Amino acid sequence: MYRCALVSPEKGQCVRSLYHATDHEFSPELPWTETVEELRAQIVPRLALEFSRALVVEIGVVHVRLARMRNRIETSTGVCHTHDFCDANMAMAVAFERFGLKTFTDYEHADDGSQSVEEIEATDLWNAAWDYARDHGFFLDELKETAHG
């Protein structure tokens, strides 16, 4: 069973945890899954929704709608117009924190400046959740009832 574990791409084995907490203190928000692929399939949408919720709280529905509109016409890859209104990285950090996950800023670089496997995995998870949220319009329809402004 996996619970937000880091997997060795070569062997498909759990090698390290992305959690701040110890194994017996896992977030109850995260599911147990049989495979890491299942886990990613479940956690990315949940992180994306939590990120979207944090954006709505931070900048309001109107600005999230504007960012969504600007994103639709943006031609550069990797650009998200939520940054036009706030440091949207902070909203993603809130989502990661909500699930007890480490972000890429929680890891130290090796002496040679290279990234650790955990940092790379956390960055990939961060980017996957961000892309999912952007591709799903930041879930504004789902968040309407809790959103203001």
pLDDT, tens digit, 9 for 90 and up, residues 26-65:
555 666 666 666 777 888 999 999 999 999 999 999 999 9
User: What is the model's pTM?
Assistant: 0.77
Long-range contacts of 89-93, Cβ-Cβ distance < 8 Å, separation of 24 or more: 90/54, 90/58, 91/51, 91/54, 91/55, 91/58, 92/47, 92/51, 92/54, 92/126, 92/129, 92/130
Structure confidence at residue 146 as a pLDDT band (50, 70, 90):
low
Specify the pLDDT at position 102: 73
Across all residues in the chain, what is the average pLDDT? 77
Neighbours of 107 (CB within 10 A): 18
DSSP code, position 29: T
Residue 23 lies in a domain: no
Higher-scoring residue by pLDDT: 18, 73? 73
d(CA 101, CA 71) in angstroms, rounded, equals 27
Total structural domains in the chain? 1
Whether 69 is in a domain gets the answer yes
Confidence of residue 143 (pLDDT cuts 50, 70, 90): confident
Domain range spanning residue 77?
A: 44-146
Asked whether residue 2 is assigned to any structural domain, the reply reads no
What does the pLDDT look like over 71-103, one tens digit per residue? 999 999 889 999 999 999 999 999 988 877 777
Radius of gyration of the chain (CA): 16
Please check whether residue 99 lies inside any domain of the structure: yes
Question: In this predicted model, which residue has the larger pLDDT, 23 or 91?
Answer: 91
Most confident of 34-43, 103-112, 131-140: 131-140
| Dist. CA 34–CA 2, nearest whole Å | 6
Is residue 12 a part of any domain in this protein?
no
Residue 89 falls within a domain, yes or no? yes
Position 113 in a domain:
yes
From CA 70, how far away is CA 22, in angstroms rounded? 41
143/101 Cα distance (integer angstroms)? 23
In a domain, 126, yes or no: yes
pLDDT of residue 20: 44
